[in-house]
Amino acid sequence: MFVYMNGSVLPVEQAKLSVFDHGYMYGLGIFETFRIYDGHPFLLDDHFRRLKEGLLQLGIQWSMEKEAVYTVLEQLLKENKLHDAYVRWNVSAGVEDLGLYTGIYEKPTTVVYMKSLPSSMAQHKKAQILDIRRNTPEGSFRLKSHHYLNNVLAKREIGDNVNVEGIFLSQDGYVAEGIVSNVFWVKGGTVYTPSLETGILNGVTRQFILKLLQKEGISYVEGLFNQQALLEADEAFVTNSIQEVLSLTSCNHIEFPTNNPITTWLQKQYAHARKLLISKDEL
């Protein structure tokens, strides 16, 4: 595997990180994961908009022109001999002395990972309500940050079965999000999804799905819902930028109906857009 690190594309064995990088020491870092389809980085603008917003919250000064971003991705595709890829774009605070730092991090560490994807991806999963609750954001809203312990503990709870997605409840008992996904369900033709008020990550694919629903005139509600609302759904699905739109066949062993017209329509719309759009605003 070849990675990009601070201006260079390197074999992964040559990429070295300082033990004084505050991304390592204090978890001060933001990352985005997205897919490249036949050379096209889907919704790249939306991912980088969120990346920059998160870095601003952490006091990390970072910028890169879009042309330079494309150059990095093209170099990594070439070196890793890929046309389609999983990408993790990671920016950590960079090197500072031992101790909490209150200034602006002016020399962050940028690492871009790229790997191949399975030849076929799952189209559906089972869901399981987790015992562990979703922790609250440490700031004003949830960042896609290096603070991932809550997710790791949740993954350990459900184990290694890739066909099961764990669903967090908030501390108040409301449906929140999946371990690596946002959650949606349909009842009576209306789509429901947890509000950002529950402390969830505002996923880029989540935003894209809501934009699609709005454009098509399909009603949706963002709110606070108990788990019974999910368990009584006509259809349900989860989303993320790697696995796209996955229908849920069951939750806590309660089977959902097999007729999923809205989920199927969203999957088709996603498949049509993924080689074309750089932002949801192009819809």
Residue-wise pLDDT tens digits, 121-140: 888 999 999 999 999 998 99
CA-based nearest residue to 93, from 119, 120, 66, 61:
61
- Which residues face 253 on adjacent strands? none
Averaged confidence pLDDT in the chain: 97
**Averaged pLDDT for residues 235-254:** 97
Rounded distance between C-alpha atoms, residue 72 and residue 112, angstroms: 8
pTM > 0.85:
yes
- Give residue-wise pLDDT tens across range 88-122: 999 999 999 999 999 999 999 999 999 999 888 88
- Give residue-wise pLDDT tens across range 67-83: 999 999 999 999 999 99
Sequence-distant (6+) residues with CB within 8 A of 78 are none
- Cβ-contact 38, 200 below 8 angstroms: no
- Give residue-wise pLDDT tens across range 191-236: 999 999 999 999 999 999 999 999 999 999 999 999 999 999 999 9
Rounded distance between C-alpha atoms, residue 142 and residue 137, angstroms: 5
What is the pLDDT, as a whole number, of residue 119? 81
What is the pLDDT, as a whole number, of residue 53? 97
- Percent pLDDT > 90 in the chain is 96
**Is 90 exceeded by the pLDDT of residue 19?**
yes
**Is 90 exceeded by the pLDDT of residue 37?**
yes
Could you state, in order of their start, the residue ranges of all structural domains in the chain? 2-115, 124-277
Q: What is the largest CA-CA distance in the chain?
A: 57
Residue in the structure block whose two tokens are 């192009």: 282
What is the pLDDT, as a whole number, of residue 254? 96
Q: If one looks up domain 2-115 in CATH, what number appears?
A: 3.30.470.10
- Percent pLDDT > 70 in the chain is 100
Q: If one looks up domain 124-277 in CATH, what number appears?
A: 3.20.10.10
Burial of 35 (0-12, 13-18, 19+ CB in 10 A): buried
Count of beta carbons in the 10 Å neighbourhood of residue 77: 19
**Is 90 exceeded by the pLDDT of residue 250?**
yes
**Averaged pLDDT for residues 168-176:** 98
